[in-house]
Amino acid sequence: MAGSRLEKLGTVFTRTRDLLRSRVLAEAQKPLWFDVYAAFPPLREPVYREPGQRYGKVKDVIPPILYQEDEIRATFYEAYGNGPKAFELSQLNFKSTCQRFVEKFYELQKEGKIEPEKLFEETGKQLLAEGIILRRKRTANVAQRTRQEAKIRDLVEEMNLQTMLEERQEQKQDQEDHLESTDVKKENPLS
Protein backbone atom coordinates (compact mmCIF):
# COMPACT_ATOMS: atom_id res chain seq x y z
CA MET A 1 0.00 0.00 0.00
CA ALA A 2 1.41 3.33 -0.99
CA GLY A 3 1.00 5.45 2.12
CA SER A 4 3.42 8.19 1.15
CA ARG A 5 1.39 9.73 -1.66
CA LEU A 6 -1.40 12.18 -1.18
CA GLU A 7 -4.82 10.51 -1.10
CA LYS A 8 -6.49 12.42 -3.88
CA LEU A 9 -8.44 9.45 -5.23
CA GLY A 10 -10.56 8.16 -2.38
CA THR A 11 -9.78 7.83 1.28
CA VAL A 12 -7.42 5.46 3.01
CA PHE A 13 -10.44 3.36 4.00
CA THR A 14 -11.78 2.97 0.45
CA ARG A 15 -8.35 2.18 -0.90
CA THR A 16 -7.74 -0.46 1.78
CA ARG A 17 -11.25 -1.89 1.22
CA ASP A 18 -10.56 -2.19 -2.50
CA LEU A 19 -7.20 -3.89 -1.85
CA LEU A 20 -8.96 -6.43 0.39
CA ARG A 21 -11.70 -7.07 -2.21
CA SER A 22 -9.18 -7.65 -4.97
CA ARG A 23 -7.24 -9.94 -2.60
CA VAL A 24 -4.03 -7.93 -2.91
CA LEU A 25 -4.11 -7.74 0.88
CA ALA A 26 -4.80 -10.99 2.67
CA GLU A 27 -7.43 -11.09 5.42
CA ALA A 28 -4.62 -11.65 7.93
CA GLN A 29 -2.93 -8.41 6.79
CA LYS A 30 -6.06 -6.32 7.36
CA PRO A 31 -5.24 -3.28 9.54
CA LEU A 32 -6.68 -3.14 13.09
CA TRP A 33 -8.56 0.09 12.50
CA PHE A 34 -10.42 -1.24 9.42
CA ASP A 35 -13.23 -3.03 11.34
CA VAL A 36 -13.65 -0.11 13.75
CA TYR A 37 -13.89 2.38 10.87
CA ALA A 38 -16.40 0.13 9.04
CA ALA A 39 -18.55 -0.15 12.22
CA PHE A 40 -18.38 3.57 13.09
CA PRO A 41 -17.87 5.62 9.92
CA PRO A 42 -17.19 9.34 10.32
CA LEU A 43 -19.99 11.85 9.88
CA ARG A 44 -18.13 13.59 7.07
CA GLU A 45 -16.13 11.56 4.55
CA PRO A 46 -12.44 12.64 4.78
CA VAL A 47 -11.90 13.37 1.09
CA TYR A 48 -9.00 15.49 -0.12
CA ARG A 49 -10.10 18.80 -1.61
CA GLU A 50 -7.89 21.42 -3.18
CA PRO A 51 -8.06 24.50 -0.96
CA GLY A 52 -9.77 27.33 -2.81
CA GLN A 53 -8.38 30.79 -3.08
CA ARG A 54 -10.39 33.12 -0.90
CA TYR A 55 -9.29 36.57 -1.96
CA GLY A 56 -7.62 36.12 -5.31
CA LYS A 57 -4.02 35.24 -5.81
CA VAL A 58 -1.70 36.15 -3.02
CA LYS A 59 1.47 37.64 -4.38
CA ASP A 60 4.61 36.67 -2.60
CA VAL A 61 6.42 39.95 -2.15
CA ILE A 62 10.15 39.45 -2.39
CA PRO A 63 12.13 42.55 -1.55
CA PRO A 64 14.95 43.45 -3.93
CA ILE A 65 18.23 42.14 -2.65
CA LEU A 66 20.42 45.01 -3.78
CA TYR A 67 22.60 46.88 -1.38
CA GLN A 68 24.38 50.18 -1.82
CA GLU A 69 27.62 48.22 -2.09
CA ASP A 70 26.23 46.37 -5.12
CA GLU A 71 25.61 49.64 -6.92
CA ILE A 72 29.19 50.74 -6.25
CA ARG A 73 30.50 47.38 -7.49
CA ALA A 74 28.38 47.60 -10.65
CA THR A 75 29.71 51.09 -11.37
CA PHE A 76 33.27 49.88 -10.72
CA TYR A 77 32.97 46.92 -13.09
CA GLU A 78 31.31 49.13 -15.71
CA ALA A 79 34.15 51.65 -15.54
CA TYR A 80 37.20 49.45 -14.92
CA GLY A 81 36.20 45.91 -15.86
CA ASN A 82 37.59 43.10 -13.72
CA GLY A 83 40.61 45.08 -12.67
CA PRO A 84 44.28 44.51 -13.42
CA LYS A 85 44.73 41.32 -11.38
CA ALA A 86 42.98 37.99 -11.37
CA PHE A 87 41.47 36.67 -8.16
CA GLU A 88 43.93 34.70 -6.07
CA LEU A 89 41.62 32.16 -4.47
CA SER A 90 44.47 30.25 -2.83
CA GLN A 91 45.04 33.10 -0.35
CA LEU A 92 42.50 33.25 2.46
CA ASN A 93 42.77 36.99 3.11
CA PHE A 94 42.90 38.09 -0.56
CA LYS A 95 40.95 41.25 -1.37
CA SER A 96 40.05 41.94 -4.95
CA THR A 97 40.60 45.32 -6.52
CA CYS A 98 36.86 45.88 -6.45
CA GLN A 99 36.67 45.08 -2.72
CA ARG A 100 39.49 47.53 -2.01
CA PHE A 101 37.69 50.12 -4.10
CA VAL A 102 34.44 49.63 -2.15
CA GLU A 103 36.24 49.86 1.21
CA LYS A 104 38.06 53.04 0.15
CA PHE A 105 34.79 54.46 -1.20
CA TYR A 106 33.07 53.97 2.18
CA GLU A 107 36.10 55.36 4.00
CA LEU A 108 36.02 58.55 1.92
CA GLN A 109 32.25 58.75 2.23
CA LYS A 110 32.45 58.62 6.05
CA GLU A 111 34.98 61.45 6.06
CA GLY A 112 32.44 63.60 4.22
CA LYS A 113 35.02 65.96 2.72
CA ILE A 114 34.31 64.99 -0.88
CA GLU A 115 31.12 65.72 -2.78
CA PRO A 116 29.04 62.60 -3.56
CA GLU A 117 29.26 63.25 -7.33
CA LYS A 118 33.06 63.27 -7.29
CA LEU A 119 33.44 60.45 -4.76
CA PHE A 120 33.85 57.71 -7.39
CA GLU A 121 36.64 59.55 -9.21
CA GLU A 122 38.39 60.50 -5.97
CA THR A 123 38.32 56.88 -4.81
CA GLY A 124 40.11 55.87 -8.00
CA LYS A 125 42.71 58.59 -7.41
CA GLN A 126 43.24 57.49 -3.79
CA LEU A 127 43.81 53.89 -4.88
CA LEU A 128 46.28 55.12 -7.49
CA ALA A 129 48.13 56.96 -4.71
CA GLU A 130 48.27 53.67 -2.78
CA GLY A 131 49.80 51.94 -5.79
CA ILE A 132 46.75 50.19 -7.22
CA ILE A 133 46.54 50.99 -10.91
CA LEU A 134 43.06 51.05 -12.40
CA ARG A 135 42.65 51.09 -16.16
CA ARG A 136 39.39 52.36 -17.52
CA LYS A 137 37.54 50.35 -20.09
CA ARG A 138 36.76 52.03 -23.39
CA THR A 139 33.89 54.35 -22.79
CA ALA A 140 30.74 54.31 -24.86
CA ASN A 141 31.60 57.66 -26.48
CA VAL A 142 34.91 56.36 -27.79
CA ALA A 143 33.29 53.17 -29.02
CA GLN A 144 30.50 55.16 -30.63
CA ARG A 145 33.02 57.48 -32.27
CA THR A 146 34.95 54.55 -33.73
CA ARG A 147 31.69 53.05 -35.03
CA GLN A 148 30.81 56.35 -36.70
CA GLU A 149 34.28 56.60 -38.21
CA ALA A 150 33.97 53.03 -39.48
CA LYS A 151 30.59 53.82 -41.06
CA ILE A 152 32.04 56.89 -42.79
CA ARG A 153 35.02 54.85 -43.98
CA ASP A 154 32.69 52.16 -45.32
CA LEU A 155 30.60 54.75 -47.15
CA VAL A 156 33.70 56.28 -48.75
CA GLU A 157 34.95 52.85 -49.82
CA GLU A 158 31.53 51.98 -51.20
CA MET A 159 31.43 55.24 -53.16
CA ASN A 160 34.93 54.54 -54.53
CA LEU A 161 33.85 51.05 -55.55
CA GLN A 162 30.74 52.42 -57.25
CA THR A 163 32.73 54.98 -59.22
CA MET A 164 35.23 52.30 -60.24
CA LEU A 165 32.38 50.04 -61.35
CA GLU A 166 30.79 52.85 -63.37
CA GLU A 167 34.14 53.63 -65.03
CA ARG A 168 34.61 49.96 -65.94
CA GLN A 169 31.10 49.77 -67.38
CA GLU A 170 31.79 52.90 -69.45
CA GLN A 171 35.06 51.39 -70.70
CA LYS A 172 33.28 48.17 -71.69
CA GLN A 173 30.57 50.15 -73.42
CA ASP A 174 33.20 52.14 -75.33
CA GLN A 175 34.98 48.93 -76.34
CA GLU A 176 31.72 47.34 -77.50
CA ASP A 177 30.83 50.46 -79.47
CA HIS A 178 34.29 50.50 -81.03
CA LEU A 179 34.03 46.78 -81.94
CA GLU A 180 30.59 47.29 -83.46
CA SER A 181 31.82 50.21 -85.52
CA THR A 182 34.81 48.20 -86.81
CA ASP A 183 32.50 45.24 -87.62
CA VAL A 184 30.21 47.54 -89.57
CA LYS A 185 33.17 49.00 -91.48
CA LYS A 186 34.41 45.52 -92.38
CA GLU A 187 30.98 44.55 -93.72
CA ASN A 188 30.49 47.79 -95.61
CA PRO A 189 33.85 49.16 -96.61
CA LEU A 190 32.15 51.89 -98.72
CA SER A 191 30.49 53.65 -95.84
**pLDDT tens-digit readout, 143-185:** 566 677 777 777 778 888 788 888 888 988 888 887 777 766 6
Residue 173 inside a domain? The answer is no
The CA distance from 113 to 119, in Å, is 9
Does residue 94 lie in a domain region? Answer: yes
Please check whether residues 39 and 79 belong to one and the same domain.
no
pLDDT of residue 180: 77
From 93, 108, 98, select the one nearest 77 (Cα to Cα). Answer: 98
Look at residue 131 and give its three-state secondary structure.
coil
Q: Domain check: are 73 and 126 in the same one?
A: yes
- The domain total for the chain is 2
For residues 73-93, average pLDDT: 82
Whether residue 113 is predicted with pLDDT greater than 80 in this model: the reply is yes
Q: Are residues 73 and 120 in the same domain?
A: yes
Instruction: Report the alpha-carbon distance of residue 110 to residue 105 in Å, rounded.
Output: 9
Kindly state whether residues 86 and 38 are assigned to the same domain: no
Q: Is residue 171 domain-resident?
A: no
Full-model pTM: 0.41
Q: Is 6 within a domain?
A: yes
Question: Is there a single domain that holds both residue 73 and residue 124?
Answer: yes
Asked whether residue 83 falls in the same domain as residue 119, the answer is yes
Q: What does residue 78 show for φ and ψ, rounded to 5 degrees?
A: -70, -35
Shared domain for 88 and 124, answered yes or no, is yes
Provide the residue range defining the domain that includes 103.
Answer: 68-130
Residue 53 in domain = no
Nearest to 104 by CA among 130, 71, 83, 75: 130
Over residues 13-42, the pLDDT tens digits come to: 998 999 999 999 999 999 999 999 999 998
In a shared domain, residues 72 and 123: yes
Residue 166 domain-assigned? no
Q: What's the pLDDT at 38?
A: 92
Are 37 and 91 found together in one domain? Answer: no
Residues 76 and 113 reside in one and the same domain = yes
Same domain, yes or no, for 72 and 125?
yes
| Residue 58 located in a structural domain | no
pLDDT of residue 136: 80
Flag whether 79 is in a domain.
yes
